[in-house]
Chains A and B, each alone.
Chain A
Amino acid sequence: MRNGKSAVRDSFLWGLGLLLMLAALYMVFAYVPTEKNTGIVQRIFYFHVPLAWVSFLAFFITFIFSILYLGKRAVKWDALAHASAEVGVIFTTLVLITGPIWAKPVWGIWWTWDARLTTSLVLWLIYLAYLLVRGLTAEPERGARFSAVIGIVGFIDVPIVFLTVNLWRTQHPTTIVFEGGLTAPMLATLLVCVTAFTVLYALLTWQSARLKTLEAEFRRLTMMQTEKEE
């Protein structure tokens, strides 16, 4: 099932991912200078923002593979959609955790209903429901079909949510603004972090999808086995 060549390729890819992550950590902690206004806590930003972007990418991938699954019905598409949504939810959870950890020392509050954080929260809830639908449907095939539908209609909501929350925020402005100018070193660090997290996402999703495909295949074989015994 896993021959020597693919194991070598796996190790290589994971090694590459690890290297990228180490490079990112170096840039965040050693290379980029401390931000003047908010101090060293601001360094959370270099992981917080990439996590947000990559989770958005993850949900987009889920959207694509959900469509593919409804069209082709191959287990691998569903496994990829599912895995991508799982990693997306994990990364979004981290966004929602690191956001407050950053906000508390800087602005003295745990939470702010700023447009991006709020959109992340709604996104988190939408895709938690995606995962719950799967878990709470008795038949796996049905669960896959339902989540594919949720994966599609949930994603098309994202731009609407973002626009609406943005507009809502301009009507009731807060004093908290996450934005700031980005110097060249800051931008470089951010880009390296985005790359590192994108690769990490890809590795985790690919691994998880492969596992899910095997598990589905195993279930299929077990069912065939029990049918033969009857």
Chain B
Amino acid sequence: MLGQVITILWKDIQTELRTKEVITSVLVFALLVLVIFVFAFGIGESPVNEVTPGILWAALTFGGILGGNRIFAVEKENSRLEGLMLCPVDRAVIYWGKLAGNFVFMLFVAAVVTPVFLALFNLPLFLPALPPVILLAVAGFAAAGTLFAAVAINTRARDIMLPLLFLPVAVPVIVAAVEATGLVLAGRPWGEMLIWLQIMAAFDIIYLVASTLVFEFVIEE
């Protein structure tokens, strides 16, 4: 079963590597969000404050949604999902395969956008406390996002449906990520952000399990 998941993941990675269209546009978009929010908040040369971590997570969230819209797009356009369904694979395997692809994709985006963000605000680039925050948050985004993407792609308003479904549900992750990042940027001890990490971890586990269970109902027939 793990092999099947990896097959789906690898196929998606190869497809993306061929054109690199989606990754480039999402990266550019995320960087644009960073810049626009700086103008929107009129921050410029101000020191790092409470708003700063929010800017990073706005960029990663909206970039994640843009990427999320693409998760099932290829399958939908080519009616390949039916083909995939004819294979005797457990429906959950499809979910985990797509989830893995989404997760890797968003992690890559975060790996590029975060250093740029840190540099723009003259923050130290080496922050060992930051990766766990990003990992847990992106895992949550991927867990819920993959499920909602499968629903959204089958509605009449595909591109707008994903953010409508995803954003309210993802509120705990966004709040926790922003709070934890704020603590990291302020140089606070690890202990203080533990509770936020726990919230994200709980969200991740709950949504991974729940999505695995209900995914088959989304891609039926």
Contact = CB atoms under 8 A, between A and B. Distances in A.
A and B touch in the complex (CB under 8 A): yes
A160 B168 contact: no
A164 B168 CA distance: 13
Contacts of A126: 168-169
Interface in B177-221: 179, 195, 199, 202-203, 206-207, 210-211, 214, 217-218, 220
Interface string A129-143: 100110011100010
Contacts, number: 79
Interface residues of A, number: 30
Contacts of A176: none
B206 A149 contact: no
Q: Which residue, B144, B151, B175, has most C-beta atoms of chain A within 10 A?
A: B151
Interface string A108-150: 0000000000000010011011001100111000100110111
Given A133-B165, A146-B151, A164 B207 contact: no
Contacts of A137: 154-156
B164 A163 contact: no
B40 to A, nearest CB: 19
Contacts of B118: none
A146 B218 contact: yes
If over half of B's interface residues share one DSSP class (helix, strand or loop), that class is named, otherwise mixed; here it is helix
Nearest to B167: A125
Contacts of B2: none
Contacts of B157: 136
Nearest to A172: B50
B179 to A, nearest CB: 7
B206 A156 contact: yes
A228 to B, nearest CB: 24
A133 B144 contact: no
A64 to B, nearest CB: 15
Contacts of A156: 206, 210
B172 A145 contact: no
Q: Which residue, B147, B156, B157, B169, has most C-beta atoms of chain A within 10 A?
A: B169
Nearest to A145: B217
B60 to A, nearest CB: 18
Interface of B: 144, 147, 151, 154-157, 161, 164-165, 167-169, 171-172, 175-176, 179, 195, 199, 202-203, 206-207, 210-211, 214, 217-218, 220
A-B interface, 6 closest residue pairs, ranked by CB to CB distance from nearest: A125-B168, A164-B172, A136-B155, A126-B168, A129-B164, A160-B172
